[in-house]
Amino acid sequence: MFEKVLIANRGEIALRIQRACKEMGIRTVAVHSEADTHAMHVKLADESVCIGPPPAGQSYLNVPAIIAAAEITNAQAIHPGYGFLSENARFAEIVTAHDMTFIGPTADTIKLMGDKITAKQAAMEAGIPVVPGSKSAITDMNEARRIAASIGFPVLIKAASGGGGRGMKVAESTGVLESALQTASSEAQAAFGDGAVYIEKYLGQPRHIEIQILADTHGDTVHLGERDCSLQRRHQKILEEAPSVALDPEIRAMIGKIVTDAVKAIGYCGVGTVEFLYEDGEFYFIEMNTRLQVEHPVTEAITGIDLVREQIRMAAGHKLGVTQDAIKFEGWSVECRINAENPETFTPSPGMVTEFHAPGGLGVRLDSALYSGYRIPPYYDSMIGKLIVHGRDREEALMRLKRALSEMVVGGVETTIPLHLALLEEAAFLAGDYHIRWLENWLAERQG
């Protein structure tokens, strides 16, 4: 096992990884920007190294500085967390070239899954159902018209290198197809340095269902069931739950088997998530995330498995500590992403946290790097914490969530806590009756 791991991230996820390392007897190295000198992940690490100025491009994305930090501290492995360098194949390659372990899949796998077109092809070849659409990047208009006509309008134009919900355009009819393709391609070129786009059937009211997998380097692969991440705003997840009200044990076992078999066929290693849209009883693959996800704690809550611990063990070459038969899904878990934002306009609200009280009690977990007197810097993502609850059933989990949200105090900045509390008063949400567009409609009506 590794003796020392460098965590190339910040905030709650850096803490989450440190916690797993501590329990495993692994020493931790934090890296931080000049804006994060007083951050919790720096205070709690065994060692820390400043890697540059506040903008992420000069610090958390600064590969030479991170590699140098790992070398001077003698770290044997680097955990990238999520975001930042976590899905950067070049970074994984560089870490490996410096005789350190990248805690994640191989650079080749990251590359394959990082391009949505090659990912979709690989998924299809491995037996995973995909969204109908073009099989490669669109290069000529006649082909685009033919594909769009065969799948039917509206269609969605997506960027091969897109991510974070960006790089998507809906085309309602043939008349706007050409202009939509051109806009999507030039926006993708500007945002991702890659103008390749493809066409997909636009699904009207699907749910976003994703399957968590674990695959060790010895050929053992298991799935840990699904998460329902349909509550989204601008394609960004706001609240996640496991299991999903939309699946039953048979469907779960069926899609779980398809995914584990496929992941094995691809030769995937590590933790990973295969994302689907689910409509009218059909699964449609949209992408694979080759890293730990923000919403992983709901899976931990219903399975009792520490995903980060398993991830680190697998990266060190150990065999999976669990078999498919031994995995049991117990109760219900819900996670709220709490952002330092105005709950109505979603304008970021960085600044000094004057007061902080964490909720507690049975079935309540708060993953957050906040403390009273901490100044939330304006440079990074506005998520300041994740509140995760677990109950024997969905009703108990939601009751507990309401109780925990009402206990939580974050003074001095605006947060999305009131938004989550309002959601918990909404009959459709309470009934589990929602899809990927439901939240935006609900927000529009409230502001109406």
CA–CA dist 24, 103 (Å, integer): 15
164 lies in the site for ligand ADP, by CB under 6 A: yes
Output 356 or 442, the one with its CB closest to ligand ADP.
Answer: 442
381 lies in the site for ligand ADP, by CB under 6 A: no
5 lies in the site for ligand ADP, by CB under 6 A: no
Beta strands (DSSP E) in 290-354 are 332-339, 351-352
According to CB under 6 A, which one of 2, 60, 198, 202 is a site residue for ligand ADP?
Answer: 202
Output 33 or 289, the one with its CB closest to ligand ADP.
Answer: 289
Please state the closest distance from residue 236 (CB atom) to ligand ADP, in A.
8
Please state the closest distance from residue 286 (CB atom) to ligand ADP, in A.
4
CA–CA dist 139, 331 (Å, integer): 49
According to CB under 6 A, which one of 53, 163, 321, 432 is a site residue for ligand ADP?
Answer: 163
Residues 277-296 contacting ligand ADP, CB under 6 A: 277, 286-287
* Amino acid in the structure at residue 413: V
According to CB under 6 A, which one of 232, 293, 311, 416 is a site residue for ligand ADP?
Answer: 232
**Are 28 and 4 within 8 A, CB to CB?**
yes
CA–CA dist 121, 412 (Å, integer): 48
Backbone angles phi, psi at 32, to 5 degrees: -155, 155
CA contacts within 13 A on the Cβ side of 388 = 21
200 lies in the site for ligand ADP, by CB under 6 A: yes
Output 203 or 340, the one with its CB closest to ligand ADP.
Answer: 203
The interface region with ligand ADP, picked from 162-170, 176-184, 254-262, 323-331 by CB under 6 A, is 162-170
The interface region with ligand ADP, picked from 161-169, 293-301, 338-346, 404-412 by CB under 6 A, is 161-169
CA–CA dist 103, 314 (Å, integer): 9
Supply the DSSP symbol for 399: H
Supply the DSSP symbol for 363: T
CA–CA dist 309, 314 (Å, integer): 9
The interface region with ligand ADP, picked from 4-12, 197-205, 258-266, 304-312 by CB under 6 A, is 197-205
According to CB under 6 A, which one of 208, 365, 390, 394 is a site residue for ligand ADP?
Answer: 208
436 lies in the site for ligand ADP, by CB under 6 A: yes
Q: Which residue numbers are catalytic?
A: 291
According to CB under 6 A, which one of 181, 197, 203, 383 is a site residue for ligand ADP?
Answer: 203
| Residues binding ligand ADP: number (CB under 6 A) | 19
Instruction: State the pairing for strand pair 355-357/383-391.
Output: unpaired
CA–CA dist 230, 238 (Å, integer): 9
According to CB under 6 A, which one of 235, 309, 318, 403 is a site residue for ligand ADP?
Answer: 235
**Are 343 and 233 within 8 A, CB to CB?**
no
According to CB under 6 A, which one of 64, 152, 165, 361 is a site residue for ligand ADP?
Answer: 165
Residue 395 corresponds to which tokens in the numbers above?
A: 């009703």
Which class for 325: exposed (0-12), middle (13-18), buried (19 or more C-beta within 10 A)?
A: exposed
CA–CA dist 309, 306 (Å, integer): 5
275 lies in the site for ligand ADP, by CB under 6 A: yes
Site residues (CB under 6 A) for ligand ADP? 131, 156, 162-166, 200-203, 208, 232, 235, 275, 277, 286-287, 436
